[in-house]
Amino acid sequence: MPGAGTGRLVRRIAWQLRLVFLFAALAVLPYLLSYSQQEIAVLLVINVLLVSSYRLLTLTGEWSLGHVVIMGVGAYASALLAKRLGVPVPISLLLGGGIAAATAAVLSFPLFRMKGFYFLIGSFAAGEIIRLIWKRFTEPFGGPKGLKRIDAFPDIDIGFLSIDFYEPVNYYFLALIVVSASLFVLYRIERSRIGLTFHAIHWQDRLAESVGIDTFRYRTLAFVIASFFAGIAGGLYAHYVGAVNPTRFGVDQMVYVLVWAIVGGTATFHGPILGVVVLTVINEIVLRALGLDTARPLIYGAILILSVLYLPKGLESLVPRVRERVRRWRSGPAATGEGAG
Amino acid sequence: MNAEGERPILEARGLTRRFGGLVAVDNFSFSVREGAIHGLIGPNGAGKTTTFNVISGFYAPTAGQVFFRGLDISGRKTSTLAAMGLVRTFQGSTLFQEFSVLDNVRVGRHLGARARFLSRLLGTDRSSEREADAKALATLAFFGLEDLADEPVSNLPHGHQRMLGMAVALAAEPRVMLLDEPFTGMNPEETRRMMALVRRIRDRGVTVMLVEHDMQAVMNLCDVITVMNFGALLVEGIPEVVRNDPAVIEAYLGSAAANGVNDAA
């Protein structure tokens, strides 16, 4: 085909341009928001990483109910390392991710003896055990009250430039950088042969095993990577809010992650991100304006049911339709008549 | 001691597999010579598929051993066996239905396309991936499926899906291929083509062991045939001997598969 190479180049440049615009928009965004909305934006960025890391695990076909607890493992670990051992916060964040990943590696031995529904319940039980440990052992976990006065990110002060991370705007940019880098890694993993292997295990694990794929090892790998980034999300949360407790990482929080993932759709990389962004906007802006924000569980439940009934493939399934609309609108009425989804 | 060429590449000794009170495979022994096309037949419920599942590592044997190239492989993981060169196929169209034809075979290249985690991340696995793609395409060409490389599997007719199943297994570069009912559900023309393919796979140096109900195909294709009944060995020998063995005829006449032997005889 003539021009296939240039076509690819054009598409690549278009894609890069879109990324540039996206980051430009994300850079301007906090200045358009109120102080409390900026705080929400920080949590939203952290939740994007939480739900995107969750999706990596779902690529292998397994859905966990322990992902938020794993996020908590990262949060507690990073907080304790900074508070007790004086580890500098950026390093404690990475170590927190590492400890979350190590926890997942240990848990995978009992958990990946199970599949499907049994794995789901097993992951829930494992998560509850971890939460009970936090509650039971006041030393060092602080018991039911959790940890308070967790060290914040150290201020950056190099003469001409001083950044105070107590300011939500500044923390927003910090989180944005960490989360973007993490998403890039997650994306690369999915687009590599590792991603292909995860999908293969999802669709036909016996066939995958028969051509030499150690399905246990790859399920563990997905769980460990997902947990590492959930742990990073937890650390970002802990050092921003300054306090963590066992309730914050309870199963109700996990249900929100599931709702984001299901409403957004998990077939594409952007699906869960779409889910968390749209639902957060609905929740924090629309409902808050209407004074209904305390009804979040009710509204989320309704949205979940409606989306399962009327949009079973998630918000992500709207993207090609919207793109088609835009394309037609651009090329004018002459180009109508082509089949659209 | 036999000469090197005479040593069986795959061998079972006293293989037994119980499910609760049911003895599916009962003190069963066989040996497959390197470079042979070896058939495993028997009436329905004789334990053929269970035997395959034990050899390929899906079940551990309750008793007895399986030897592959002289090594005791009993109870090893399926993926470990694949890495050693023992790869199986599945009944029906067990494929990655959601993938393209090429991606199915790319998954089959798993063992040949090793790379470090970091080089996957950085994209420095590109050269080994390109090689894997080339080999996957060559495997598809071997089966005459190269023009369908980008098709979704679900668009393929049944016969092509069966060939693709073998292509996925062959992409793993096995030394022994276990084919589970390769001709089931095929018309005579498709069966004939598939038989030619199995011979060509053998000619590439791959030893083939197959479970099959189509007697005509088994008798024409196999160098050696093992007949099992009630989980145990009945007869093992060349097709001419097996075909006329009174015990075999009795086993089949006593079951619904009897007409298969009549056709062949």
pLDDT tens digit string along A174-223? 999 999 999 999 999 999 999 999 999 999 999 999 999 999 999 999 99
Cα–Cα dist B82/B175, whole Å:
9
Q: What is the DSSP string of B4-66?
A: GGGS-SEEEEEEEEEETTEEEEEEEEEEE-TT-EEEEE-STTSSHHHHHHHHTTSS--SEEEE
pLDDT at residue B93 above 90?
A: no
Place of tokens 């690819």: A8
* pLDDT, average across residues B70-75: 92
Of all residues in chain B, the one with the smallest CA distance to A192 is B120
Of all residues in chain B, the one with the smallest CA distance to A212 is B79
In B59-216 the beta strands, taken as DSSP E runs, fall at 63-68, 71-72, 86-88, 176-180, 207-211
Instruction: Name chain B contacts of A197, Cβ cutoff 8 Å.
Output: 107, 110
Contact at CB, A212 and B120, closer than 8 angstroms: no
Local structure of B97: helix, strand or coil: coil
Contact at CB, A209 and B94, closer than 8 angstroms: no
Of the candidates B56, B96, B120, the beta carbon closest to that of A203 is on B96
Exposed/middle/buried for residue B147 (C-beta within 10 Å: 0-12, 13-18, 19+): exposed
Of the candidates A189, A200, A210, the beta carbon closest to that of B78 is on A210
Of the candidates B97, B113, B132, the beta carbon closest to that of A203 is on B97
pLDDT at residue B47 above 70?
A: yes
Instruction: Name chain B contacts of A209, Cβ cutoff 8 Å.
Output: 77-79, 82
Residue A151 is given by DSSP the state: P
pLDDT at residue B254 above 60?
A: yes
pLDDT at residue A338 above 60?
A: no
Instruction: Name chain A contacts of B106, Cβ cutoff 8 Å.
Output: 193, 196
Of the candidates A203, A206, A213, the beta carbon closest to that of B110 is on A213
Query: Which of B53, B78, B86 has the most A C-beta neighbours within 10 Å, making it the best mutation to test the interface with A?
Result: B78
Give the pLDDT confidence of A46-98 residue by residue, as tens digits. 999 999 999 999 999 999 999 999 999 999 999 999 999 999 999 999 999 99
In angstroms, what separates the C-alpha of B169 from chain A's closest C-alpha? 6
User: Which two three-digit tokens encode residue B167?
Assistant: 């292509």
Of the candidates B121, B171, B172, the beta carbon closest to that of A189 is on B121
Give the pLDDT confidence of A128-168 residue by residue, as tens digits. 999 999 999 998 999 999 999 998 888 887 777 778 888 89
Cα–Cα dist B255/B233, whole Å:
17
Higher pLDDT, B4 or B91: B91
What local confidence, expressed as pLDDT, does residue A157 receive?
77
User: Which two three-digit tokens encode residue B6?
Assistant: 């005479």
Cα–Cα dist A149/A155, whole Å:
16
Contact at CB, B121 and A206, closer than 8 angstroms: no
Confirm or reject contact between B173 and chain A (CB < 8 A): no
What local confidence, expressed as pLDDT, does residue A114 receive?
92
pLDDT at residue B165 above 60?
A: yes
**Pairing state of beta strands B224-229 and B37-41?**
parallel
Confirm or reject contact between B179 and chain A (CB < 8 A): no
In chain B the beta strands, taken as DSSP E runs, fall at 10-19, 22-32, 37-41, 63-68, 71-72, 86-88, 176-180, 207-211, 224-229, 232-237
Give chain A's mean pLDDT: 90
In angstroms, what separates the C-alpha of B134 from chain A's closest C-alpha? 15
Beta-ladder partners of B225: B39, B237
